[in-house]
Amino acid sequence: MKKALVIGLFLAFASALAAQNIKTGAESVSEYLPLLQGKKVAVLSNQTGIIGKTHLVDSLVALKINIVAIMSPEHGFRGDADAGEHVSSSVDQKTGIPIKSLYEGNTGKPASELMKEIDVMVFDLQDVGVRFYTYLTTMARMMEACAENGVKMVILDRPNPIGFYVDGPILDMKYKSGVGWLPIPTVHGMTLGELAGMINGEKWLKDGIQCDIKVIKCKNYTHASMYQLPVKPSPNLPDMRSIYLYPSTCYFEATPVSLGRGTTTAFQMYGHPNMKGYKFSFTPRSIPGAKLPPQLNKECFGVDLRKTPSIEEINKAGINLEYVVDAYKNLNLDDHFFRSFFENLIGQGYVKKMIKEGKSAAEIKAMWAGDVAKFKEQRRPYLLYPEN
């Protein structure tokens, strides 16, 4: 027993040490600078696109790269807009470069007129490893736009903070949407650079077209790395605990239950004004990044996940539907519990059906075990980093 404990502690220490030495793709400037020199360059990034403490755009401008446009994903270039909020195009005050919002007009793709002005698209966004986190969809849509317009795409890869496991059902493509664009499990365990290769290899873009991509890999990263994000990826994922709980609590977005938007620890609690038998309560307020959260200014009763379970228990469990099952049973709303996009988030129709039938979280999870095994084999040729 002692020997196993010592080995476990050593492996955890080694993983933490390796994570501290991880170098992102953006940091390997010498690898991609020659691809940009003398070209008209666009940068698709946000507040996570940093090299050390300097933003990628500022670094490239200092290196005399001709950046003709900045493109911003959901939450905007500075990462402070609400989920799905309309973000207008503008100008970066520091550099004077035009910012083109992909959320203006909700097209998700830049106009072909703009693409014709670009030679190279540089993509640098920090993903969190979950299918419904929209930066993955943003990348796939941009790959399509680049392929259609003959623009090369340079992907500066970043670690997946939950890249150490795969879980959830493969998306049934009849539920394809902005929060589910590809036939992959909910937690895919891949970096965006790896997924870009898979998108090309599996011909998932429209009409099977392929994008000319160059992935600048991370250094010293493996899928076992416990990578701590240096910048929060979006307003309501403030820390690693929120990110680790995100694959289990995000489904509340498609219910009347609050998951803590309008607090400083979103995704780390859940509750509703009518939930019974709970001492814990919280009140969502209007705050930056959550201006109109569900159950605004109403006291919600429910479950506090801010301290328990432990990080280790959260990650070992993977997707945990016990929280959704618990709230469903407690509120007794039947079909009124589920919003129309619940299936878009979870990716399959059988999950809602099984919850309504009273099945346990474990029984539901068993249904997608085959999807997980299938995807692990399917993705293997596209992995750029060791699995452990």
Q: What percent of the chain has pLDDT over 70?
A: 89
For residue range 337-355, what is the model confidence (pLDDT) as tens digits? 999 899 999 999 999 999 9
Buried b (16+ CB within 10 A) or exposed e, 109-135: bbeeebbeebbbbbbbbbbbbbbbbbb
Pick from 103-107, 153-157, 270-274, 288-292: least confident: 103-107
Domain range annotation of the chain: 22-228, 240-348
Structure pTM?
0.90
Using alpha carbons, select from 33, 27, 29 the residue that is nearest to residue 53.
27
The listed CATH number (3.40.50.12170, 3.60.110.10, 3.90.1150.10, 1.10.540.10) that belongs to domain 22-228:
3.40.50.12170
Q: For residue 154, which phi and psi values (nearest 5 degrees)?
A: -105, 115
For residue range 236-288, what is the model confidence (pLDDT) as tens digits? 999 999 999 999 999 999 999 999 999 999 999 999 999 999 999 999 999 98
pLDDT tier, 101 (very low <50, low <70, confident <90, very high otherwise): confident
Would you state the pLDDT for residue 230?
Answer: 93
Cα distance from N-terminal residue to C-terminal residue, the chain:
23
Taking a C-beta distance cutoff of 8 angstroms, is the pair 346, 251 a contact?
yes
Mean pLDDT of the region 69-89: 60
pLDDT tier, 10 (very low <50, low <70, confident <90, very high otherwise): very low
